Structure 1
Amino acid sequence: MPILEILDYAGVAVFAATGALSASRKQLDIIGYIFLASVTGIGGGTLRDVILGATPVFWVANPFYLVVCGSVAVLVFFSAHKMESRYIFLVWLDAVGLSAYCVMGAAKGLAATGSPLVALVTGMLTATFGGILRDLLAGEPSVLLRPEIYVTAALAGAGVFTLAATLAAPLLVASGLGVVTAFAVRGGALKYGWTLPTGAHTPGRHPDDVM
């Protein structure tokens, strides 16, 4: 199986697991698990394909991706209660999914357009949009609002892959470098609290105070 196909299935499966873990934290039924797992697993790739005009989108062209999401959801449904901390497991799985999917998204963007800039954007969106949807639907604090680095990790992985690919590195090498870079940045942020500098500004006023 080609390395990009492996990363594609891995990204879908791991993100689906994080969606199912969010369903577990909210004590949803099995349908809720499958729904959140599927939205999280295919969300980023769907946005990528729509942007690139790749229709039908990947899971319509190959419904086995939905089988993967459903299977992962059922597995988590029967095992999540055994985990000591579902949230810690969720954020680390999310880091794994982000690492795989930022490379997959960048590869598809580069192949479709030949533009390194587009590859960066598609890599970033593919890796982050599913997690954003998951948190929004589950009522969890959005990963975008967490202080530690998130989107930057996806950009770093996509950037390293794109640079290596444009320098004609073998696909396996370029993909490995991208995945390792993204996971190192995101993992370091989770373990050590790495952040980027914020603007020197005061919090915005409540809308009622402005009207």
Structure 2
Amino acid sequence: MNLIFMIPLGPTTLIGRCEMKPVHAMSVPRPQKSSFSQAPVITDETRRFVNQIFIELQASFTAWKQTFPTNEALAAAKVTWMKALVEARIVRKEQIAQGLRVARQCESDFFPSPGKFISWCKTAENVPDIDTAFGMLNDYIADHQIGMPIEVRAMFDLIDRTVLRTKTESDLFRVFKRNYRFVCGLVNSGQSIDEYLREPLALEHSESFEQSEERRLRVLDEISKTRFKLGLKR
């Protein structure tokens, strides 16, 4: 299919006739300068990121041509994506890799929006997606937290207990969404989340033999007292 297309290239415009190219074959045009607002700084590395992102997403979302039916639409989209990624500070390879990892697991055939992809980049590799994590709400409230990732526990622990019991599920999800981004950000940057856990899990290797023995005797003493109160034989 032959198409007439126009791609902005700085102060000039290139007009030509060519075959519709695959996503990865098209270069990313440089965005036009605007006198009305301060444009984000777009580096060559960002352009390479966008090209690689589009190559990967084209393979994952086979209906991408419905979103970008012309070369002009495709070129404009790349400029928008560059700006969105820079504004959201999604410029590290690790962030991009995580976004693409989530994209490959997505069941949709349609190309995602920049905002959706950015939200994927802000997740953490070993943490469930936000819907799965929030789906553990009832287990958390019922104190059935065995097997629950500590990252998800931290997201819930950051919510006031009164709020957990009084707010609607939609209200809780808005709060949880904020906590999800926060905790995933800590995990992705290699920071500890222990301080955000109400009852941090004890690390076995950090407990000395004396501390372990003291804890064991204390538990045995509590059991003994409980049995005495119940009139049971020691």
Q: TM-score, normalised by structure 2?
A: 0.28
Higher strand share: 2
Higher helix share: 1
Structure number with the bigger relative contact order (C-alpha 8 A, sep ≥ 6) is: 1
Q: TM-score, normalised by structure 1?
A: 0.30
